[in-house]
Structure 1
Amino acid sequence: MANSKVKYFLYHILVGGFAILLLYPVIWLLVSSFKESKDIFVTAGSLIPNPFTLVNYPQGWEGFGGYGFGTFIKNTIVFVFWMLVGHLISCSLIAYGFARLTFVGRGFWFAIMLVTLMLPYEVVMIPQYIIFSELGWLNSLKPLVVPAFFGHPFFIFLLVQFIRTIPRELDEAATIDGANTFQIFYKVILPLIVPALATTAIFTFYWTWDNLLGPVLYLNSPEKYTVSMALNMFLSNETVSNWGAMFAMSMVTLVPVFVIFFIFQRYVVEGISTTGLKG
């Protein structure tokens, strides 16, 4: 009994220490946001701000170019919203087709979809830019949002695996009751894949919220910048970088990430494990 308690104690000490090690960069970022910019790297090894200052937060919130940081947060929320709508609608419908419908070349097209999952974004970046430029979509969210309505291979694969764990007898029962293909999807499949849809939504939020490359390619006007682009603007190669303001606004942008994770973390685990139906 005593040996078991010692193991239990040592286990929690080890896990707690490892957690602190992983959280150290976030702790350092938080502490640095309360330091003066000129002292951040001079006293980088200290976790005690000396002197303690709050000036970085109002400075960072003022933004730049006449646009406050709230504008960039609003732009990012709009960006995330449409990405969520696009991914949830398109990926669920496409996954349902691959998992439940029978059509010519289903295995071939599913394999092609998986191949695109392994295709680096840098390979298609220039061709996509040329296409969107010809369409006149530059300096707007269209090049970033419209592709989301055509599915994402990772989320399609995740949802396909989840749908396959749902017994087909439910589909057959719905068919006997007179349901058509879309009604089966909407009334039978969709309510049962909520954990996987939640996982899709959470990962879409994470990947969109801190996306820098896409907005940098297509957005040119400061009033349309996202938070990732705004944070990058605090750095300068010509003048002194405002590290304090950047760290302060970095902490502000981390708040939604932590909130979403702690509220919906159980859906992440449940969705990825693809456990399907519960008894």
Structure 2
Amino acid sequence: MAIQTNINTQRAEHPARAIQAWNRRIGKTVVYILLVLLSIIFAGPLLWMLSTSLKSLADVSVFPPIIFPNPPLWSNFVTALTQVPVFQFMGNSVAYCILALIGDLLSSSLVAYAFAHVRFRYREIVFVCVLATMMVPYEILIIPQFLTFRSLGWIDTYLPLIVPTFFGSPYLIFLLRQAFRSLPRELIEAAKLDGANHLTIWWRIVLPLSKPALAAVAIFSFIFHWNDLTGPLIYLNTNEKYPISLGLTQYTASLGQTQWNMLMAASLVAIIPCIVVFFFSQRYMVQGIVVARVKTDERG
């Protein structure tokens, strides 16, 4: 009797399991469809850039717009890259972004370590004040910063763009602080007992154990400085020193004379480094953000 009861129970559970499995498949299918649709929407501007870069200047303003140029003018890329020294501008951007990235990593990680593992009076109040600086609009700081850098003779150099990064970024400090607080406190205490000072602990223990968060910070810093237009526009005057963000403005012109096809072709080439950096580092970026967020949720 017991065996027969078990058999009947298993038969009754089998359709329920099948229904649950079917519901899971339907749910995953819906999610995948939504993700594909969202991907197409977000990729729309990039696809439009590609379409515009392959058109003639006359076809750019045609209405209704031409989605698939026939024939596609791949020669626009050659013309765009020779008309303006795009590769020179990209080289300037690479050098500038690497130096700024080093400044962001060193300064923000050092300050974040102090807020995470160094106990001092009014630490939380100071940390809140640091975060509060993110609410100050950049437009308010432009004039006093420009006057300061002009008095130092730094105009038309990269110093106004690089030196401030060695004084920390509030958002990056917050991100790294949350990641550093997720490290086991016992490691820090054991290092102190062994006679290690804070700089040694920061360099030899905290940084090696926080590679995902550091990778996320590096990606954010690189992409921000690569796309930054306001800073170079204010401080740089010499054409040979332009980064790619400012160099692309040479394709623009007043009174509707902008060469949109050339601008889109050069812009596609200009975003290649950001795409490469993102695709090769997205795993570390997501992992670093998740670590910081989990720690924030734990602290409430």
Task: Name the TM-score class by shorter chain.
Answer: over 0.9
Supply the distance in 2 between the matched residues of 1:187 and 1:177 (Cα, whole angstroms): 13
In the alignment, what sits opposite 2:49? 29
TM-score, normalised by the number of residues in structure 2? 0.86
Q: Residue type matched to 2:150 in 1? A: S
For the 8 Å contact 1:171–1:184, the answer to whether it is kept is: yes
Q: Which runs of 5+ in 1 are unaligned?
A: none
Change (3 A) 1:77 1:221: same
Q: How does 1:175-254 map to 2 (within 5 A)?
A: 175-237=192-254, 240-254=257-271
1:258 lines up with 2:259 in the alignment: no
Partner SS for 1:256: helix
The Cα of 1:154 is off from its aligned counterpart by: 0.4
Q: How does 1:17-166 map to 2 (within 5 A)?
A: 17-42=37-62, 45-64=65-84, 68-166=85-183
Supply the distance in 1 between the matched residues of 2:57 and 2:248 (Cα, whole angstroms): 15
Supply the distance in 1 between the matched residues of 2:255 and 2:168 (Cα, whole angstroms): 41
Q: Which runs of 5+ in 2 are unaligned?
A: 1-20, 296-300
For the 8 Å contact 1:61–1:70, the answer to whether it is kept is: yes
The Cα of 1:264 is off from its aligned counterpart by: 0.8
Supply the distance in 2 between the matched residues of 1:87 and 1:150 (Cα, whole angstroms): 8
Larger gyration radius, structure 1 or structure 2 = 2
Change (3 A) 1:39 1:129: same
For the 8 Å contact 2:105–2:214, the answer to whether it is kept is: yes
Supply the distance in 1 between the matched residues of 2:122 and 2:50 (Cα, whole angstroms): 53
The Cα of 1:3 is off from its aligned counterpart by: 4.4
Larger displacement relative to structure 2 (103-112 or 177-186): 103-112
TM-score, normalised by the number of residues in structure 1? 0.93
Supply the distance in 1 between the matched residues of 2:125 and 2:33 (Cα, whole angstroms): 51
Supply the distance in 2 between the matched residues of 1:6 and 1:102 (Cα, whole angstroms): 52
Partner SS for 2:207: helix
Aligned residues between the structures? 274
The Cα of 1:63 is off from its aligned counterpart by: 3.9
Q: Residue type matched to 1:36 in 2? A: S
Supply the distance in 2 between the matched residues of 1:44 and 1:137 (Cα, whole angstroms): 49
For the 8 Å contact 1:35–1:49, the answer to whether it is kept is: yes
Q: Residue type matched to 2:164 in 1? A: P
Identity %: 39
CA RMSD of aligned residues (A): 1.8
Supply the distance in 1 between the matched residues of 2:22 and 2:195 (Cα, whole angstroms): 63
Supply the distance in 1 between the matched residues of 2:91 and 2:129 (Cα, whole angstroms): 36
Supply the distance in 1 between the matched residues of 2:154 and 2:196 (Cα, whole angstroms): 41
For the 8 Å contact 2:59–2:66, the answer to whether it is kept is: no
Supply the distance in 1 between the matched residues of 2:80 and 2:270 (Cα, whole angstroms): 12
The Cα of 1:159 is off from its aligned counterpart by: 0.8
The Cα of 1:25 is off from its aligned counterpart by: 1.1
The Cα of 1:156 is off from its aligned counterpart by: 0.5
Q: Residue type matched to 1:7 in 2? A: G
Partner SS for 2:271: helix
For the 8 Å contact 1:215–1:225, the answer to whether it is kept is: yes
